[in-house]
Amino acid sequence: MHAIDRVAMNARLHYLGMAARISQPTLKLAVLTCMDARVDPARLLGLQPGDAHVIRNAGGRATTDALHALAISQAVLGTQEVMVLHHTECAMRRFSRSELAERIMAATNHPFHDDPGVFTDDVEAVVEDVGRIRAYPSLAHRERVRGFLYDLSTNALTEVAPQERK
């Protein structure tokens, strides 16, 4: 059985109950995190269906698409806080922009000119993404944006540059 067939079957067996009836996240939280399969934000953060929006991309970066999703999450669906969650051992740190472009070209036979969002320092990447989100004028709630780094080897979640909370 192919992976897509397997997960489609799992979806038919899954029942959300009341969580499926409420479109606004109950915690009023949006989490921006990496797509890395080793990181399960729901399990890591103890989230249940309906608790939060989880936006995932390569590196958990505050890209244009992620910022658009956060704007919709806040303005339309009522979230008020943003958690940026990066992790150690991220592929976006292990590879350079040119290495990723070469791999994508080798796989597709098509040149890749986009910025994949690579970085060299875990902590600085979190700080950068928190800053991008706080500076994005299309967010209604920019004051409660916090960044965290999850260490895969120690299972430790550490706040990066904690801000004074209101």
Cα–Cα dist 100/107, whole Å: 11
64 falls within a domain: yes
| Predicted pLDDT at 7 | 81
Instruction: Write the secondary structure of 34-89 as one string of H (helix), E (strand) and C (coil).
Output: ECCCCCCHHHHHCCCCCCEEEEEEHHHCCCHHHHHHHHHHHHCCCCCEEEEEEECC
- 11 inside domain: no
Query: Within a domain: residue 10?
Result: no
**pLDDT score for 51:** 92
Backbone angles phi, psi at 162, to 5 degrees: -55, 140
pLDDT for position 164: 46
Residue 11: enclosing H or E segment and its boundaries?
A: helix 3-13
Kindly report the CATH number assigned to the domain that includes residue 34: 3.40.1050.10
For the range 3-6, what are the long-range contacts, defined as Cβ-Cβ under 8 Å and sequence gap of 24 or more? none
- Residue at 166 is within a domain: no
Does residue 104 form part of some domain? yes
Identify the pLDDT of residue 22. Answer: 72
- Parent domain of 30: 24-160
pLDDT truncated to tens, each residue of the chain (166 aa)?
Answer: 788 888 877 777 666 666 666 778 999 999 999 999 999 999 999 998 889 999 999 999 999 999 999 999 999 999 999 999 999 999 999 988 989 899 999 999 999 998 889 999 999 999 999 999 999 999 999 999 999 999 999 999 999 976 544 4
Number of domains in the chain: 1
Contacts (Cβ under 8 Å, ≥6 apart) of 48? 19, 42
What span, in angstroms and rounded, lies between the C-alpha atoms of 92 and 106?
18
DSSP 30: E
Does residue 38 contact residue 90 with C-beta atoms inside 8 Å? no
In a domain, 8, yes or no: no
Residue-level pLDDT at 88: 97
* Buried/exposed code over 111-138 (b: 16+ C-beta within 10 A; e: otherwise): ebeeebbbbeebeebbebbbebbeebee
Quote the pLDDT of residue 109: 95
Residue 149 lies in a domain: yes
CB-based contact 51:31 (threshold 8 Å): no
* Short-list 144, 131, 127, CA closest to 28: 144
In a domain, 79, yes or no: yes
